Amino acid sequence: MRILFVVPGMGYGGAERVISILSNAFVTKGDSVKIINFDKEGITAYHLNAKVDLYKLGNMNTKSLKSIVSFINNLRSMIKAYNPDVIISFINDVCAITALANIGLKYPLIYSERNDPRFINNSLKEKSYGFLVKSLTDGFVFQTNGAKNLYSKKVRNRSAVILNPIQMDAFPKCWQGEREKLIVSVGRLHPQKNQKLLIKAFSNIADAYPDYIMKIYGEGPLKQELINQIHELELSERIFLEGNVENILERIVSAEIFAYSSNYEGLPNALMEAMVLGIPCISTDCSPGGAAMLIENEKNGLLVPIEDELALTNGLDYLLKNKEAASRMGACAINLVNEVNEEHIVREWQSFIQRIMDKKRNKN
């Protein structure tokens, strides 16, 4: 099978990690995989098998109609030259451009929704992209039932809910013994992720737990505001912004708590990985239900309402005070691997791809 991914970039992020895992798995199984990347200057953050063909097409100049048409024509030529059995596109605007380039061609197109549609598709431009995606795409992959249910019945009938894969051979062993007096969080420094709430919640318990520190991994536009907040709370020696790191799992595996404070999300990769590592986890119940798909409250982690400082504060306090309960939740969370291991998720993708290909073939 010839599989073409069309993506906005291959830097650090949940979608990029999933694309790399799927691409590597597909070529290992004998498929041909090409990735067309719209970010010409960006890094490739995650390992790609040497058999994966990565091409950096570059960004589209949206201010010039001539440039837009030229970009779409170039993409169309590349699609035709590769002659894929299926095209898979991530992110609303990229899929819309891909759909335009694919008009009149025989290739089935699958869109993978990566976030909460209610928060990312609100501008006129994004709504226009969304219309093109819904009109010109053959199949949809959602991460949560909540996201799927926000779409029309026509879309739902040609869709599947598939969780993100975990690449277990890249995972360190679960931590044995006493955990570090450390609370960790991983995510882009962005208002969506609401690290401000997490920092405030930690500040509320900092005096009660003077030996504990917090490390937040990730980069983003909120960084300076977070630095200022940490300084104002006089916690510069207790809360650290660690940036992006390559060996993130090794950095967090020994932590006592993994905390996630997002307001909305697709399926939180970082939370999922922390759970599989057996770290006791607390997360906001972010829409459209990704965290709730992973965490059964008080069984394999804690769920608290979004933007609820008191609830997050109390949750952190509970996990630190009740180490036996926290350890039990962490041990239970490891079982999530049965649902998200790479082999299982890749089979689900293969099955859905075949379903969409067959449907497209019968339609033609």
The pLDDT value recorded for residue 120 is 66
Which residue stretches of the chain have pLDDT < 50? none
Backbone angles phi, psi at 268, to 5 degrees: -70, 105
CB under 8 A, 24+ apart: contacts of 39-45: 39/8, 39/9, 39/10, 39/11, 42/9, 42/10, 42/11, 43/10, 43/11, 44/10, 44/11, 45/10, 45/11, 45/12, 45/13, 45/16, 45/17, 45/244
Pick the CATH number of 168-340 from 3.50.40.10, 3.50.50.60, 3.40.50.2000, 3.30.1780.10: 3.40.50.2000
The reported pTM is 0.85
Nearest to 320 by CA among 202, 218, 229, 169: 202
Alpha-carbon span 176 to 161, nearest angstrom: 34
Alpha-carbon span 260 to 173, nearest angstrom: 22
Furthest-apart CA atoms within the chain: distance in Å? 67
Q: Which fold has domain 2-165+341-363?
A: Rossmann fold (3.40.50)
| Cβ(136)–Cβ(154) below 8 Å | no
Alpha-carbon span 215 to 143, nearest angstrom: 27
* Prior bond of 288 cis (ω within 30°): yes
- Quick one: tokens of 91? 């992110």
Tell me the three state secondary structure of residue 191: coil
The pLDDT value recorded for residue 119 is 73
The pLDDT value recorded for residue 161 is 96
| Cβ(147)–Cβ(222) below 8 Å | no
- The terminus-to-terminus CA distance of the chain in angstroms comes to 19
The pLDDT value recorded for residue 121 is 60
* Numbered ranges of CATH 3.40.50.2000 in the chain: 2-165+341-363, 168-340
Please report which helix (H) or strand (E) contains residue 243, including its range. strand 239-243
Alpha-carbon span 326 to 302, nearest angstrom: 9
Q: What is 252-302 written as a DSSP string?
A: HTTEEEEEE--SB-SS-HHHHHHHHTT--EEEE--BTSHHHHH--BTTTBE
The pLDDT value recorded for residue 118 is 75
The pLDDT value recorded for residue 114 is 83
Alpha-carbon span 27 to 5, nearest angstrom: 13
For residue 185, CA distances in Å to 70, 236, 311, 362 come to 42, 16, 17, 47
Q: What is 16-46 written as a DSSP string?
A: HHHHHHHHHHHHHTT-EEEEEES-SS----S
- Quick one: tokens of 178? 């006493």
| Cβ(153)–Cβ(329) below 8 Å | no
The pLDDT value recorded for residue 364 is 64
Alpha-carbon span 277 to 173, nearest angstrom: 7
